[in-house]
A and B are shown apart, each in its own frame.
Chain A
Amino acid sequence: MKTLFNFLTSLRLASVLLLLLMVLTFFGTIEQVDHGLYATINKYFTWKNYIVLPDIRINGKLLPIPLPGAYWVCVLLFINMFMGGIVRIRKGWKKAGIIVSHFGILLMLLGGFVTHHFSERGYMSLYEGETSNFVQSYHDHSIEISLLNDQGTAEEVYVFPHEITSKISKDGKTPVKLVHEKLPFSFEASHYLKNCRPRMVGPIMAGQTPSVDGYALFAVATDKADEANLNGCYLKSSTGEEILLFSGAFTPHVIDHEGKKYAIALRKSIWPMPFSVQLDDFNAEFFPTGKPKKFESYVTRIENEITNKVKIYMNHPMRYEGFTFFQASWGPPDGAPGDKLYSVFEVKQDPADQWPLYAILVTTAGLLVHFGYMLIAFILRQTKKKEAK
């Protein structure tokens, strides 16, 4: 038991873990150039991967260098720092600053854990003058069925979330049955494609899904920027209707059932927000080289008819009710002064949003205390020496 305790609290273990994190971060940074940020973060930092194989190749051949997954390195580092830097360390005023700094680093690691498991990231895209009260996920897709009124707007929305759509098979051999408790019909779903385009078919032009109304979904190469991939799948309803769902469709498919109309769409998962955001004005400035200089969005936040004007620009997000709006990008890509522009906000819901800042402040305070104590002790020692002489 004592051996285990000594091992877990050792400075040597801390050094090895920090070195591993540095190596993993290095390989992840190189790898995300070819494989995309989302895929690389999932590979290196997800809790599901205990071992990772960095994509190191010599003459095209993969060099197998297994490394522990970064998530578990951080878990072990947390244990090491807590037990060594808080529990085992000798307590006293001399060590007060070091203990406080360790608390700061532990808070940083804990913040990373909370963000990894409990945060959500999405985007909101608004043209000038437009108002929105929802955010869409960058990566997750849901199938949504909306009960429509005569005007073609939705009265109720039923959702098969990403946890379900991610289980739809990629081929037609094992369709899954999708049942919603509040719908009078169900679906058989299959042929889920990560990135596809709908095209017209002919006797010699066949896609990867059955053809419906002269169209089928054709698989295309997966984009390394995961958010650019357009998902698709094939559904057959219990009413006998065949449906192609495509996340880039211009309008949903509509079915009739017992005198009611239902719109069916595959979309990036939507989170409704408790307030609305209206984009009043968007400004973009560029350097003579064409590189972006600054983007500014002037928005009105509307909640229960109470409005607040807010400016959102780089490094100055809007934080409200647990949502953080960052100025992420804008469009259209070929937009010019005078064109109607849209602003894209990255929206984050993260319980640990400000924890890295608090962690840095705590660590800084601890270091200031420690080095301040060392400085004062040094000055006092030198003074005593001079007096003794």
Chain B
Amino acid sequence: MKILLFGVLGCLFLASCGEKQELTSSETRAVTTLDERPIPLSPTSADRFEPPGTPKAESTEHVHGESAAKGGFTYTAGEGWTAKPKTQFRLVNYVLPAGGEIYLSITGGGVLPNLNRWLGQFGQEKISESELAQMPTVTILGEEGVLVEVTGAYAGMGKSKQDNMSLLGTLAEVDGQLISVKLIATPDETKEQKAAFITFCESLAK
């Protein structure tokens, strides 16, 4: 009898653990001037989350060597790159075939501080001015930009660490602005996209 009782109680306990909590409301409120403003009846997520006036997403893949123009720049995009809408910090924004991303930004703060910030995102030690001077370069918008390539656990943009990721990036001071092009992908995809990355940087024009 005791075993049966405990069994029933146990089943009830387990059943209540699995049940979702249900919260009921009967509250309504009066219509206000906020509600009198017409809203789009079929908004997309881009309509809801991107600032008004943001260009719509283009999912067209670019054939290798095809010129493209976005964010006030012209350039040659790589094969299989999928264009995404620009954001506040990404004037040119692409997703790569295997899920990596490449984007162009205009930022501030100097080449070395930004480079060290990137290295920090991959758990690498900071470098000095003298070490910066010895790094390889790539031509971008007529200037020599430092080229950095690093692999490690990537922790950026407020999200959790992702192991074994690679960064291929360049930073260059152009007409008083700091231009950055950053590619983040798996090591294999980074290796495959390196040539396209260099072509993208060298073809960049305003």
Q: Which residues of A contact B (CB under 8 A)?
A: 131-134, 144, 146, 148, 151-161, 164, 167, 174-182, 188, 198-200, 202-208, 212-215, 218-221, 244, 246, 249-254, 261, 263, 270-272, 276
Majority secondary structure, B binding face: loop
Inter-chain contacts of B57 with A (CB < 8 A)? 200, 214
Structural contact, A202 and B101, CB atoms closer than 8 A: yes
The answer to whether B43 touches A251 (Cβ under 8 A) is: yes
Select from chain A the residue with minimum beta-carbon distance to B22.
A177
Q: How far is the CB of A279 from chain B (nearest CB, A)?
A: 12
The distance in angstroms between the C-alpha atoms of A134 and B30, with both chains bound, is 10
In the bound complex, CA of A154 to CA of B34 (Å): 9
- Could you pull out 28 A-B pairs where Cβ atoms are within 8 angstroms? A132-B34, A134-B34, A148-B39, A153-B37, A156-B31, A157-B28, A158-B27, A176-B23, A181-B26, A182-B28, A198-B45, A199-B157, A204-B101, A205-B101, A214-B45, A215-B45, A218-B159, A220-B158, A246-B48, A250-B47, A250-B48, A250-B50, A250-B52, A251-B43, A254-B40, A254-B42, A263-B39, A271-B29
Residues of B within 8 A of A203 (CB): 98-99
The distance from the CB of B35 to the nearest CB of chain A, in whole angstroms, is 4
**Is the CB–CB distance between B48 and A249 below 8 Å?**
yes
Give the bracket for the number of chain B residues in contact with chain A. Answer: 35 or more
Give Cα A249–Cα B1 distance, bound, in whole angstroms.
59
The 6 residue pairs across chains A and B that have the minimum distance between CB atoms: A203-B99, A154-B35, A152-B38, A134-B32, A213-B45, A198-B49
B147 close to chain A: CB less than 8 A: no
On whether the beta carbons of A179 and B24 are closer than 8 Å, the reply is yes
B162 touching A178, Cβ below 8 Å: no
Known contacts A133-B32, A167-B23; 15 further A-B pairs (Cβ under 8 A): A131-B33, A134-B32, A134-B33, A154-B36, A156-B28, A158-B25, A159-B27, A164-B25, A174-B20, A178-B25, A182-B28, A202-B100, A204-B99, A204-B184, A213-B45
Q: Report whether A254 and B41 are in contact in the complex, using a CB–CB cutoff of 8 Å.
A: yes
Q: List, in ascending order, chain B residues with CB within 8 A of A174's CB.
A: 20-21
8 Å CB contacts to A: which residues of B41-69?
A: 41-45, 47-52, 57
Q: Which of A148, A214, A249, A251 has the most CB of B within 10 A?
A: A251
